[in-house]
Amino acid sequence: MENTSIELEFGSVVLSARLFDTHIAKKFLRTLPVTVDLMQWGEEFYGSIGVDLGAEKPVENIAPGGIAYTNSGNYVCIFFGQRPAWAVEHIGQIVDDQWQRLREIPDCRSVTIRASDASG
């Protein structure tokens, strides 16, 4: 599963991302496609995927564009400037600087995450 491509669809805005080759990322991939109701905290969107994927190697800091998972709430977290409130599993990264578009999405309420045809 080396760097599997995924898409994050926020209504009309679709961003490309890659999942890392980690145990938690592999489990996350098996939950796709998934639509997540989002909440916002600063420059982070997060919402529950409804599945406990466990914990592997949580980290305290995620770069902008980072995609993370935490089993505290079973949240997928999408960072675009915010530091995590607690250590999370860094499972992927939005490609290039596409993450900056997240700042332009008004009233973002959900995201659909799916595997991309560009995987490989």
Residue 96 — pLDDT band, cuts 50, 70, 90?
very high
Q: What is the number of structural domains in the chain?
A: 1
Supply angle C-alpha 22, 23, 29, rounded to 5: 85
Tell me the residue range of the domain where 79 lies. Answer: 4-106
117 — pLDDT class (breaks 50, 70, 90): confident
The answer to whether position 34 is within a domain reads yes
pLDDT of residue 106: 75
CATH code, domain carrying 32: 2.40.100.20
Per the domain annotation, does 50 fall within a domain? yes
Indicate whether 117 belongs to any domain.
Answer: no
* pLDDT computed for residue 59 by the predictor: 97
pLDDT tens digits, residue range 42-92? 999 999 999 999 999 999 999 999 999 999 999 999 999 999 999 999 999
Query: Is residue 113 in a domain?
Result: no
Residue 100 lies in a domain: yes
Q: Does residue 28 lie within any of the structural domains?
A: yes
Percentage of the chain exceeding pLDDT 70:
96
Task: Quickly list DSSP for 70-94.
Answer: ETTTTEEEEESSPPPSS-BEEEEEE
